[in-house]
């Protein structure tokens, strides 16, 4: 497999001393020419300094570089946090000789500890020197927190016969849930796409991917998904066919990364799709799917490979959505375990237990009330999850 | 300590073979004379058969007996579940020679497995023979699931100079959260109190106790709190002073039981009160308190005795309530850890870490926006919780 590349884009990742273990913790994306930019950020009321800064800067629709650190969230640090985020961007802008306002910033790590920004500023020369066309893997490693592997996907497509590249890097692992997660994702393309359209396509792709995953129901203060398009590859998005082609590729990459984040969720062993259909509305279906996907009792049963469908119905019943429990069917993959609200017996139980031993499976609830449907991705809740999160700061 | 007693009331607990381990799993309360009765039940859309039956029967305001089993929830068993609940009540009514409609039923255990009602019916003669004035401890043992100890409280009060008894038995342990929990609570008094007033006082007491606790955010299909008053002790509630006296005692007992349920929550090591003040409304405060109290990341940090206040602010921020993070103060007991949204430094951290080592503590968030306040009780989220729930059915 060749390394991911995207014309006119370079990436880097170095160790700046933010992580106690000396692992890479500072990454950079650099576009040689101004790129159109779009971003989606956390809806948490408590937003980290880099999110506040980026939300302001991205309104220009232009970006030349993104500097991202792990090991510290730079959140709940007051005005000093904002000054530090600006200082990190300024150091990168100076080293690359680009406008400071065209540098975006992202952070992930512990909340509420002052950012040792002098380490970031001190490491910028090394970071810039580390930039290469094939540096996306090093960037992916530098933004990891409790992820067990760096996550980078590269695809090629064509627009009007002209090839283009799309590279996306993501980190996740903890605090993952719908409406964004503690996740960072940076995607770059060398196709030419105007910023407003880039924004529209980014939001569509996020809705179908990162906004459909949950690990523990907690949302982060730092979630950011940023998409850059610098046009350096020669392909130009100029019609509806092109839009469809690019959207398809973007959706595919984001969904693949979203599943990867869940599979690599803290302590996760299983990727489980929770599907709800037959609800009165899509919104009702989503509320039930979310409640099931976030239920600790459901998730611990998944960890135990226990086809404890009563917990699934119990969770559905507390979602705040009215339905008739006496009509519900429930499936593990294709195995019907509940029909009309009643268990299907030992044979179905045995078949469902076999499904639960798989690394990936789907749980489907059919309420038989209407045509509303929704699906979210979740994982099991393991002993390892608790261990990771009990001593995350130490 | 003398055994709990309540004039004219008897209780029992035997092993009917519903639990695989041969432990007591069938309990009974019997009032020699008709008692006024009030009940509060789960708000889960999916309700167990005994809940559906009791909700109907309790409208009479009269009750002579409650039969309760552990080891099986008798939920999601369709019409057969209802027939089984009725059959259990009929067997008890026949053995005690009382009207079937004055027997209430409660079940707790695994959802979606047929109730082996023949074992209950077969054990009724032994159960009735086991009735004694001091049998409440045996009843408490018979309704345990993953509880580590039976929970029974007895208090004496006076009404107009006449003494009365109030005895309450509860079980909890898992699936505990506000708006009821997988919990059963049966309370008996030998004071004379009319059913409508009993209902009012029961709801008040539940709101201040069982509706303020959370263990894992999951609500049960079987939650039931039932209060009986048979007047056999001679005390009569006949004025506002009496109402205040009884309410105070009932509130006290229920709050004590609620705390006991949380302390004995599945895998729990700490009892933590989450207080929110300075919100724009009590409702806003409650939403934030609930979200913090149910956050897996907050609860695993409590398990790790880690003063990770960033997770607390992060959880508060996703509660769906607008507030200014830059004004928030956060306390662990009396230790201010965050002032105006920013951490108070290493000295505060050290003091907060000492607070976290306590078995009981309070977390207080002050939003400084208004006078809305709320408090809920929660526990930590431990490795043991996951282990208990991963193989609950096996």
Residues of B in contact with A216 (CB under 8 A): 296-297
Residue A343: strand pairing partners: A338
Residue A366 domain boundaries: 271-390
The pLDDT value given to residue A178: 34
Asked if residue A3 is part of any domain, the answer here is no
Chain B environment of A218 (Cβ under 8 Å): 295-297, 311, 314-315, 318
Note whether A236 and A305 are same-domain residues: no
Co-location of B37 and B186 in the same domain: yes
Pair of tokens at residue B86: 């009725």
* H/E segment holding residue A35: strand A26-41
Of B205, B229, B263, the last residue of a domain is: B263
Task: Using the predicted structure, report yes or no on whether residue A31 has a pLDDT greater than 70.
Answer: yes
Q: Hey, which residues does A27 pair with through a beta bridge? A: A13, A68
Q: What's A373's domain CATH number?
A: 3.10.20.340
User: Is A296 at the interface with chain B, CB within 8 A?
Assistant: yes
Chain A residues with beta carbon closer than 8 angstroms to that of B221: 310, 313-314, 317
Instruction: Pick the residue from chain B with its C-alpha nearest to A111.
Output: B310
Please report which confidence band the pLDDT of residue A27 belongs to, taking 50, 70 and 90 as the band edges: very high
Are both B242 and B303 inside the same structural domain? no
**Are the CB atoms for A272 and A302 separated by under 8 Å?**
yes
Residue B267, min C-alpha distance to chain A (Å): 12
Domain-ending residue, one of B263, B284, B311: B263
In a domain, B284, yes or no: yes
Kindly state whether residues B287 and B239 are assigned to the same domain.
Answer: no
| Interface residue B270 vs chain A (CB under 8 A) | no
Which of these ranges, B65-69, B298-302, B389-393, has the smallest mean pLDDT?
A: B389-393
The CATH number linked to B88 is: 3.60.70.12
Question: A42-98 pLDDT, tens per residue?
Answer: 888 888 999 999 999 999 999 999 999 999 999 989 999 999 999 999 999 999 999
Cβ within 8 Å, pair A76-B342: yes
- Examine the pLDDT at B304 and tell me if it is beyond 60: yes
Q: What is the pLDDT of residues A236-271, one digit of tens each?
A: 999 999 999 999 999 999 999 988 888 887 778 899
- Assess if residue B3 is contained within a domain: no
Among the partner-chain residues B112, B317, B383, the one whose CB lies closest to the CB of A383 is: B383
Residue length, chain B?
A: 394
Whether B393 has a pLDDT exceeding 60, the answer reads no
A295 touches chain B (CB under 8 A): yes
According to DSSP, the residues that pair with B313 across neighbouring strands are none
Bridge partners of B70, per DSSP, are B108
Contacts of B220 in chain A (CB under 8 A): 314
Distance in angstroms (rounded) separating the CA atoms of residues A149 and B117: 52
Instruction: State the pTM of this model.
Output: 0.82
Residue B166: its H or E element: strand B162-171
Among the three residues B246, B263, B280, which one is the final residue of a domain in this structure? B263
Residue A362 is assigned to a structural domain of this protein: yes
Model pLDDT, residue A264 = 81
Domain shared by A128 and A59, yes or no: yes
- Tell me, yes or no, if B217 comes closer than 8 A to chain A by beta carbon: yes
Integer Cα distance of A271 and A302 in angstroms: 10
Q: Does residue A2 lie in a domain region?
A: no
Beta bridge partners of residue B213, listed in sequence order: B377
Same domain, residue pair A243 and A359: no
Are residues B125 and B29 located together in one domain of the fold?
Answer: yes
Structural domain includes residue A222? yes
In a domain, A283, yes or no: yes
Which range has the worst mean pLDDT, A210-214, A274-278, B289-293, B298-302? A210-214
Tell me whether residue B2 is in a domain.
Answer: no
SS3 content of chain A, % helix, strand, coil (to 5): 35, 25, 35
CB contact under 8 A, B304 and A110: no
pLDDT of residue B175: 43
**Do residues B384 and B266 make contact, with C-beta atoms less than 8 angstroms apart?**
yes
Q: Which residues numbered 118-147 in B keep a CB inside 8 Å of some CB on A?
A: none
The CA distance from B34 to B26, in Å, is 22
Query: With left for phi above 0 and alpha for psi between -120 and 50, is residue B22 left, alpha or beta?
Result: left
Helix (H, G, I), strand (E, B) or coil at A252: helix
In chain B, % of residues over pLDDT 70: 94
How big is chain B by its Cα radius of gyration, in Å? Answer: 22
For chain B positions 299-328, those within 8 Å of chain A (CB to CB) are 300-301, 303-304, 306, 308-311, 313-319, 321-323, 325-326
Indicate the pLDDT class of residue B212, thresholds 50, 70 and 90: confident
User: Closest to A306 (Cβ–Cβ): which among B44, B316, B391?
Assistant: B391
> Are the beta carbons of A391 and B306 closer than 8 angstroms?
yes
Number of domains in chain A: 2
Same domain flag for B130 and B256: yes
Q: How far is CA B183 from CA A75, A186, B107, B172, B186, in A?
A: 39, 47, 10, 4, 10
Residues B189 and B126 in one domain: yes
- Mutation test of the interface with chain A: which of B390, B391, B393, choosing the one with the most A Cβ atoms within 10 A? B390
Grade residue B382 by pLDDT with cuts at 50, 70 and 90.
confident
* pLDDT of the residue at A176: 45
Residue B72 DSSP class: B
- The reply to whether A332 and A258 lie within a common domain is no
- A189 belongs to the catalytic site: no
Split at pLDDT 50, 70, 90, the class of B112 is: confident
Q: What sign has the CA pseudo-torsion A166, A170, A176, A181?
A: negative
Q: Quick check: B10 pLDDT over 80?
A: yes
Q: Are residues A228 and A365 in the same domain?
A: no
- Contact at CB, A297 and B389, closer than 8 angstroms: yes
Sorted by sequence, the CB contacts under 8 Å of residue B225 that are 6+ apart come out as B39, B40, B41, B180, B183, B184, B185, B186, B187, B202, B206, B210
Together in a domain, B124 and B166: yes
């Amino acid at each position: 497999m060749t390394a991911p590349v995207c014309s006119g884009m370079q990436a880097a990742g170095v160790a700046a001393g933010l992580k106690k273990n000396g692992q890479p913790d500072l990454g950079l994306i650099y576009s040689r020419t101004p790129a159109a930019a779009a971003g989606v950020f956390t809806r948490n009321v408590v937003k980290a300094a880099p999110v506040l800064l980026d939300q302001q800067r991205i309104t220009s629709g232009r970006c030349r570089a993104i500097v991202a650190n792990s090991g510290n969230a730079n959140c709940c640090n007051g005005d000093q946090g904002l000054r530090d985020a600006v200082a990190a961007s300024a150091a990168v802008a100076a080293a690359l000789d680009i406008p400071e306002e065209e540098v975006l910033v992202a952070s992930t790590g512990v909340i509420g500890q002052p950012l040792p920004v002098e380490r970031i500023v001190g490491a910028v020369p090394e970071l810039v020197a580390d930039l290469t066309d094939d540096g996306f893997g090093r960037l992916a490693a530098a933004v990891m927190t409790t992820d067990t592997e760096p996550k980078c996907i590269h695809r090629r497509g064509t627009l009007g016969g002209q090839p283009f590249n799309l590279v996306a890097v993501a980190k996740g692992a903890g605090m993952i849930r719908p409406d964004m997660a503690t996740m960072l994702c940076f995607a770059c393309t060398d196709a030419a796409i105007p910023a407003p359209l880039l924004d529209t396509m980014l939001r569509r792709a996020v809705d179908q991917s990162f906004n459909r995953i949950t690990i523990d129901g907690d949302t982060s203060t730092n979630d950011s998904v940023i998409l850059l398009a610098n046009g350096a590859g020669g392909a130009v998005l100029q019609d509806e066919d092109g839009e469809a082609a690019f959207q398809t590729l973007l959706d595919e990459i984001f969904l693949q990364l979203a599943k990867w984040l869940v599979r690599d969720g803290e302590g996760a062993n299983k990727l489980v799709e929770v599907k709800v259909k037959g609800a009165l509305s899509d919104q009702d279906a989503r509320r039930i799917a979310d409640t099931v996907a976030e239920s600790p009792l459901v998730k611990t049963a998944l960890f135990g490979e226990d086809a404890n469908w009563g917990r699934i119905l119990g969770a559905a019943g507390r979602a705040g959505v009215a339905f008739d429990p006496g009509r519900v069917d429930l499936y593990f993959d294709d195995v019907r375990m509940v029909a009309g609200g009643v268990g299907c017996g030992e044979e179905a139980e045995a078949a469902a237990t076999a499904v639960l031993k798989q690394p990936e499976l789907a749980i489907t609830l059919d309420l038989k009330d209407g045509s509303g449907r929704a699906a979210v991705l979740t994982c099991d809740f393991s002993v390892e999850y608790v261990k990771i999160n009990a001593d995350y700061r130490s």
